[in-house]
Amino acid sequence: MSGDSFPYDGDDDFVYGDDDFLIENSDETLLEQLLTAKPSIAEIPAHSSTVFDMMNDISEFVNNSYGQSGMYAMMCAIEAQTGWSLEIVGSKTDVETLLYENYGIFDEHAWLKARNSPYWDMMVRQMYEVSAEWNQVIVSTIADKKPPLHVRVKYAWRVLTRRF
């Protein structure tokens, strides 16, 4: 993959390859540190509840030890291993901040209420639909076919209005 060149929109956070992520000021990889902290982690059977509990433990360890940068590195590693592209669609902090700034309310259960809201489900469904539509456009360009006219116009407008 390192010799390939892919057209992309210049995002600095575009990830190539599947190298181990190194934690700042450390020669150990995150995986080595996790295995050191949880030596029996590799021997746990792959039952869904056990894997979920194990991932919660790993996430808690990474978050407590390395904060958001560690969580981001873990997301990148998951993407590299699964072939997924993960996006953060909301956060507990964002919900609590918006609730307080817009309405002057603090609710300790705001995040659970947001996640259980029918509007959260509507947002996720709409995001899936948009993702599926854009996947079709992306696949058409890989197949050397022209994307739909409205997409070409959007892209041309983006290129014309991009700052240099």
Counting beta carbons within 10 angstroms of the beta carbon of residue 62, is it exposed (0 to 12), middle (13 to 18) or buried (19 or more)? Answer: buried
Q: What is the pLDDT along the chain (164 residues), one digit of tens a residue?
A: 444 444 444 444 444 444 444 444 455 666 666 666 554 555 556 566 777 888 888 899 999 999 989 999 999 999 998 999 998 999 999 999 999 999 999 999 999 999 999 999 999 999 999 999 999 999 999 999 998 888 888 888 888 888 65
DSSP assignment letter at 41: G
Torsion 128-130-131-133 (CA) sign: positive
pTM of the model: 0.59
The single-letter DSSP state of residue 29 is: B
Are 77 and 21 within 8 A, CB to CB?
Answer: yes
Give me the pLDDT at residue 2, please: 43
How confident is the model over 53-92, as pLDDT tens digits? Answer: 888 888 999 999 999 899 999 999 999 989 999 989 999 9
What is each CA distance from 47 to 42, 44, 78, 117, in whole angstroms? Answer: 13, 8, 18, 29
DSSP assignment string, 96-107: HHHHHHHH----
Q: Residue count of the chain, please give it.
A: 164
Return the domain boundaries, the chain: 1-86, 117-164
- Per-residue pLDDT, 28: 62
Structural contact between residues 148 and 155, judged by C-beta atoms closer than 8 angstroms: no
The one-letter amino acid at 147:
P
